[in-house]
Amino acid sequence: MTVTINADLRRERERCSFDPMELTNFWDGSKAKTSHRHELENFFLSDPILHDKIPAKYKNHKEIYEGAIMKGCRVLQKVQQLHDSGKGGMDVFSKRHLTKAFVVLCRQILGGMLGSAILKDGNPLTLHYVMFIPAIMGQGTVEQQGYWISRAWSCNIIGTYAQTELGHGTFIRGLETTATYDPETKEFVLNSPTLTSYKWWPGGLGHTANYAIVVAQLYTKGECRGIHAFIVQLRDENTHEPLPGIKIGEIGTKLGMNATNNGFLGFENVRIPREHMLMKNSQVLEDGTYVKAPSDKLTYGTMMFVRVVLVRDISNYLSKAVTIAIRYSAVRRQSQIKPDEPESQIMDYVTQQYKLFPNLAACFAFRMCADWIWEMYNNVTAELDQGELERLPELHALACCLKAVASSDGATGIEQLRLACGGHGYMDASNLPAIYGLVTATCTYEGENTVLLLQTARYLVKAWRQAIGGEPLPPTVGYLAVLSRGVKQRPWKNTLSCIVQAHQAVAAGKIRLATENMDRRIRSGTSPEDAWNKTSIELAHCAESHCRAFLVMRFVENVRGLTSVSKQLREVLMQLCELYSIYWVLQRLGDFLRSIRLNPELTQFNGRQERNFRTVTRAHGKCVVFARKSPPTAISYLAVCRRVAMVWEKRRCAARVIYIAAAQCERKRYAHRLYATHCIMQFNALRFPNPGRFHFCDRSQH
Ligand SMILES: Cc1cc2nc3c(=O)[nH]c(=O)nc-3n(C[C@H](O)[C@H](O)[C@H](O)COP(=O)(O)OP(=O)(O)OC[C@H]3O[C@@H](n4cnc5c(N)ncnc54)[C@H](O)[C@@H]3O)c2cc1C
C-alpha cells in the first residue's frame, strides 16, 4: 500500500535547514541509541497483543483493568526477553549496576514514551519497578536486597509503595499507621488505628500487588521513633487472597490513570518478622533497641529517584503533545490571512505559533536539565554509599523545584496544545486528553508541587543567609554569592548571557525580598512558623524563579557546549533556547521590571526578537518535531486505532502469567469491590502447566 504524505506536511519537511536524522540522534543521545529505540519500538509495537481492540473509553472498569494487566504482563515478558538476549541497552551499566539498569529499563518502558503509547491510562505494574524495587535498593540492607530484589525482579512477587493515607499525603510525619515491635516474638505488629490512617492511593494495590513497602510510625520499647519502611505481605502468593487482618480494595475512578488500580489498605494486628523492616539506615535490634540512622535525609532516596526521572518523562510526554499539535497545525487550514488568498495553514497565525513553539522549546529545556540532574543524582547517591551527605540538600532542593516546575509547565503546555488543536484536540482520538491525564497527575504525586516549591524555598533562604554571610555556596546557588554583594548590574545587552543573568537576578531579588519580609515579620513579633506561612506565596515564587533561572542557564550552557552537531542544527537549537529564555522574561515581565535595570532597548528586544524567533523557529519547528521519527503508534491514539488487530497467540512464553479468579471469596468479605479479577505473575514457578494463557473470570459471576 502506498502512503500519500499530506502536501503541506511534505512542503514543511522540505523547508528543513538541517538533516532531521541528526536531530533524532541528538534527541536520543547518539546514533546507536536511536537504532536501539527503533529496535525497541518495533519489538514492542509490532506485537498485536499490545494493541487495543477496543478504545479504553468504550470499556468498563474491569475490562480496562484486565487489559492493563494483560498488556503490562506482556511488556514485562518482552523486557525479560530483551534482558536475556542482552538487547536491553544495559551495556552502559557495569555488571554491578545491572539491577539498577534493569529497573531503569523497566520504568523507561512502563513509564516512559513507549509505555505511555502502549499503556495510555497507566498500569498496575509500574509501581513495582518505579517504587517497590528502588525502595528496597535504596533502603534495604545487602541481605534484604539479595532476598527481595531477586524475588521481585523475577516477578515472583508484585509490590507497591504504600505511604499516603486518607488523612495525610504531604505531611508524612503525620502518618498514623503503626508498626509496634514485639520483642517476644521478634515481630512488628501493624495497625490502622483510625479511618484516616488507611493507606490511600498506592498504584497496583487495588487488586494486583501481593506485597507492599508500607511506611508506618515505628514504636519500640514504648517510644515512637518516627516513620520507617516495612515490607508487608498483603495477599497469599498462591491464592491471591488477602491475608488475615489485611483490608484492601480499589479506590475508584479518577481524572486519568484509570488503569493504575490505585488502592486502599488497612491493617488489623498484622504481624511481620523483624527482618521485614528496611534496615539499611535505621535498625531495630532483636531486643527492641533502636539504632538511629546517621541522617534523617538518607530515607529520601526513593522519592528523589522518582522525582529525578519524572522530569525526563514529562519532557517526553510534552514532546508527544507538541508533535501532535504541530503536525495538526501544519495540515489544518482555516480562514484566510488575506481575503484573496487560499485558506491559511493555522501554523501561519502568530497566535498559534505562540501556543506551539514555547512548548517545543520547553521539551528541550526539560530534557537537558533531566539529563543533568540524572547525572547529579547518580554522583550524589554514589557519594552517599561512601557516607558523604554534603550534596544531598542541594540535590533534594533542585529535584523538588524541577519536578514541580516541569510538571506544572508540562500540564499547562499540554492544555495549550490541546486548545491549539481546536475541537479535534478535545477528542480522545487526539491522544491529548490521555497525555494530559498522565502529566497533571505528576503535579500531585511524588510530592505536591506547592509543597515541593516550599521545600526548595527553605533551602534557598538558607543559601541566601550563607551568601550574605560570605560562606561558600553549592554550584546551583552560586549565583547568589555575586548578587548578595549588591553588585551593580552591567548595562543591558541583547545577549543570551545577559538574559541568563537577568533570570538569576530575578531569582536572587525574590529570595532576598522574601527573606527580608519574613525576617521583618519575625522582628515585629510573629512566630517564625507563622512568618513562614505568611510569606509562603513569595517563597514558592522564589523557588519557581530559581528553577527557571536554572532551566535557562542549563539550556544555554548545553547548546553552547555542543560541538558534535552541525552548524545548522546548532543554530536551530540556539533559536529554541533564545525563544524559551525570552518567553519566560515576557511571562514574568513584572518580576524582571522590578529586578533589573531596564532600558528602551530591552523593550524593543522583547518585541522584535520574539517576533523573529517565532517566525524563524516556525520554519524549523516541524522539522524539529518530525525529526523524532517515532512511529505514529508511539504518539497518536488515532493511529493506534487503525491497527486494531489483536490476536492472542496461545504460545508458550518464557514468562508465566496466570490470572486467578479469587475475587469471589474476597467479594464476600468486601462487598464494595468493583470487580473480581486478580492476578499472580509467576515468571519462574513451574507449578502451572499451561503458561501464557489468560484465565479471565466469567463476567456473569460479578
Ligand atoms: C495519580 C496518583 C498516584 C499516586 N500514587 C501513590 C502511590 O503509589 N503511593 C502513595 O503512597 N501515594 C500515592 N499518591 C498520593 C500522593 O503522593 C499524594 O496525593 C500527594 O503526596 C499529595 O498529598 P495529599 O493528597 O494529601 O494532598 P494535600 O497535602 O492534602 O494537598 C492539598 C492542598 O494542600 C496544600 N498543602 C498541604 N500541605 C501544605 C503545606 N505544608 N504548605 C502549603 N500548602 C500545603 C497543597 O499545596 C494542596 O494545594 C498518588 C496520587 C496520585 C494523584
- What's the confidence (pLDDT) of residue 684? 32
CA nearest to 675, candidates 686, 659, 689, 688: 659
**Hey, CA dihedral for 326, 330, 333, 334, is it positive or negative?**
positive
Return d(Cα 476, Cα 553) in angstroms, integer: 10
Rounded to the nearest angstrom, the distance between the alpha carbon of 448 and the centre of ligand 1 is: 5
CA nearest to 16, candidates 623, 613, 629: 623
Residue ranges in 427-535 assigned as alpha helix (H) = 432-441, 449-468, 479-484, 496-523, 528-534
Among 260, 451, 532, the mutation site with the greatest number of ligand 1 atoms within 8 A of its Cβ is 451
| Residue 267, pLDDT above cutoff 50 | yes
- What's the confidence (pLDDT) of residue 695? 28
DSSP E strand stretches across 277-390: 283-284, 290-291
Cβ of residue 206 lying under 6 Å from some atom of ligand 1: no
Domain end (from 293, 318, 346): 293
CB 265 within 8 A of CB 190: no
Q: What radius of gyration, in Å, describes the C-alpha atoms of the chain?
A: 26
**Same structural domain for residues 267 and 355?**
no
- Which atom of ligand 1 sits closest to the CA of residue 449? 47
Instruction: Enumerate the known binding-site residues for FAD.
Output: 164, 203
Residue 345 lies in a domain: yes
3-state secondary structure (DSSP) of residue 277: strand
**pLDDT tens by residue, 633-645:** 555 433 322 322 2
Residue located nearest, by CA, to atom 44 of ligand 1: 451
CA nearest to 110, candidates 97, 98, 94, 128: 128
Q: Give the contacts of 445 (CB within 8 A, at least 6 positions apart).
A: 201
**Same structural domain for residues 378 and 471?**
yes
Per mean pLDDT, which range of 136-145, 303-312, 367-376, 691-700 is the poorest? Answer: 691-700
| Residue 628, pLDDT above cutoff 90 | no
Residue 669 lies in a domain: no
- What's the confidence (pLDDT) of residue 692? 30
**pLDDT tens by residue, 546-559:** 999 999 999 999 99
| Residue 59, pLDDT above cutoff 60 | yes
* Pairing label, strands 678-681, 657-660: antiparallel
Q: What is the mean pLDDT of residues 302-323?
A: 90
Return d(Cα 396, Cα 362) in angstroms, integer: 22
Return d(Cα 112, Cα 103) in angstroms, integer: 12
CA nearest to 306, candidates 509, 193, 440, 445: 445
| Residue 161, pLDDT above cutoff 50 | yes
Q: What is the mean pLDDT of residues 530-540?
A: 98
- What's the confidence (pLDDT) of residue 327? 92
Residue located nearest, by CA, to atom 2 of ligand 1: 445
Rounded to the nearest angstrom, the distance between the alpha carbon of 34 and the centre of ligand 1 is: 37
DSSP 95-139: GGGHHHHHHHHHHHHHHSHHHHHHSTT--TTHHIIIIIHHHHHHH
- What's the confidence (pLDDT) of residue 493? 76
Cβ of residue 420 lying under 6 Å from some atom of ligand 1: no
Residue located nearest, by CA, to atom 26 of ligand 1: 169
Return d(Cα 286, Cα 330) in angstroms, integer: 68
Cβ of residue 169 lying under 6 Å from some atom of ligand 1: yes
Cβ of residue 533 lying under 6 Å from some atom of ligand 1: no
* Pairing label, strands 270-273, 178-182: unpaired
Return d(Cα 456, Cα 447) in angstroms, integer: 12
Domain with 396, as residue range(s), is 301-625
Q: Kindly indicate the confidence band of residue 648, based on its pLDDT and cuts at 50, 70 and 90.
A: very low
**Same structural domain for residues 265 and 322?**
no
Residue 146 lies in a domain: no
Among 201, 452, 529, the mutation site with the greatest number of ligand 1 atoms within 8 A of its Cβ is 201
Return d(Cα 219, Cα 386) in angstroms, integer: 29
Cβ of residue 201 lying under 6 Å from some atom of ligand 1: yes
| Residue 625, pLDDT above cutoff 80 | no
Catalytic member of 446, 544, 578, 610:
446
Cβ of residue 127 lying under 6 Å from some atom of ligand 1: yes
CB 280 within 8 A of CB 140: yes
Residue 132 lies in a domain: no
Cβ of residue 203 lying under 6 Å from some atom of ligand 1: yes
Comparing 120 with 519, which gets the higher pLDDT?
A: 519
Residue whose C-alpha cell reads 503525620 in the numeric block: 174
Among 107, 164, 198, the mutation site with the greatest number of ligand 1 atoms within 8 A of its Cβ is 164
Return d(Cα 263, Cα 667) in angstroms, integer: 15
**Same structural domain for residues 284 and 322?**
no
Per mean pLDDT, which range of 71-80, 317-326, 615-624 is the poorest? Answer: 615-624
What CATH number should be reported for the domain holding residue 456? 1.20.140.10
**pLDDT tens by residue, 346-389:** 999 989 999 999 999 999 999 999 999 999 999 998 888 788 88
3-state secondary structure (DSSP) of residue 423: helix
What CATH number should be reported for the domain holding residue 30? 1.10.540
Among 123, 133, 170, 307, the mutation site with the greatest number of ligand 1 atoms within 8 A of its Cβ is 170
215 CB neighbour count, 10 Å cutoff: 23
Per mean pLDDT, which range of 4-13, 259-268, 366-375 is the poorest? Answer: 4-13
Q: Provide the percentage of residues in the chain whose pLDDT is more than 90.
A: 62
What CATH number should be reported for the domain holding residue 226? 2.40.110.10
**Same structural domain for residues 286 and 314?**
no
Cβ of residue 202 lying under 6 Å from some atom of ligand 1: yes
- What's the confidence (pLDDT) of residue 671? 27
Residue 520 lies in a domain: yes
- Which atom of ligand 1 sits closest to the CA of residue 257? 1
Return d(Cα 395, Cα 308) in angstroms, integer: 9
Per mean pLDDT, which range of 201-215, 483-497, 569-583 is the poorest? Answer: 483-497
| Residue 693, pLDDT above cutoff 50 | no
Residue 683 lies in a domain: no
Rounded to the nearest angstrom, the distance between the alpha carbon of 169 and the centre of ligand 1 is: 5
Comparing 283 with 1, which gets the higher pLDDT?
A: 283
**Same structural domain for residues 347 and 486?**
yes
- Which atom of ligand 1 sits closest to the CA of residue 256? 1
Rounded to the nearest angstrom, the distance between the alpha carbon of 447 and the centre of ligand 1 is: 6
**pLDDT tens by residue, 400-429:** 999 999 999 999 999 999 999 999 999 999
Q: At what angle do helices 432-441 and 301-331 cross, to 10 degrees?
A: 160
| Residue 649, pLDDT above cutoff 90 | no
Q: What is the mean pLDDT of residues 226-245?
A: 96
Q: Give the contacts of 273 (CB within 8 A, at least 6 positions apart).
A: 186, 187, 188
**Same structural domain for residues 412 and 522?**
yes
| Residue 396, pLDDT above cutoff 80 | yes
* Amino acid letter for position 285: L
Residue located nearest, by CA, to atom 41 of ligand 1: 451
Cβ of residue 457 lying under 6 Å from some atom of ligand 1: no
- Which atom of ligand 1 sits closest to the CA of residue 203? 8
Rounded to the nearest angstrom, the distance between the alpha carbon of 199 and the centre of ligand 1 is: 12
CB 622 within 8 A of CB 327: yes
- What's the confidence (pLDDT) of residue 109? 72
**Same structural domain for residues 606 and 480?**
yes
Q: What is the mean pLDDT of residues 178-187?
A: 98
CB 542 within 8 A of CB 511: yes
**Same structural domain for residues 285 and 317?**
no
Residue 697 lies in a domain: no
Domain end (from 293, 315, 334): 293
**Same structural domain for residues 482 and 597?**
yes
**pLDDT tens by residue, 95-114:** 345 556 666 667 667 667 78
Mean per-residue pLDDT of the chain: 84
**Same structural domain for residues 277 and 407?**
no
Return d(Cα 476, Cα 169) in angstroms, integer: 29
Domain end (from 567, 600, 625): 625
- What's the confidence (pLDDT) of residue 621? 65
Rounded to the nearest angstrom, the distance between the alpha carbon of 264 and the centre of ligand 1 is: 15
Residue 357 lies in a domain: yes
- What's the confidence (pLDDT) of residue 694? 27
Q: How many domains does the chain have?
A: 3
CB 103 within 8 A of CB 137: yes
* Pairing label, strands 270-273, 187-191: antiparallel
**pLDDT tens by residue, 66-90:** 999 999 889 888 887 887 777 665 4
Cβ of residue 212 lying under 6 Å from some atom of ligand 1: no
**Same structural domain for residues 385 and 520?**
yes
- What's the confidence (pLDDT) of residue 664? 28
Cβ of residue 196 lying under 6 Å from some atom of ligand 1: no
Return d(Cα 30, Cα 23) in angstroms, integer: 10
578 as an active site residue: the answer is: no
Model pTM score: 0.88
Pick left, alpha or beta for residue 472 (phi over 0 → left; psi -120 to 50 → alpha; otherwise beta).
beta
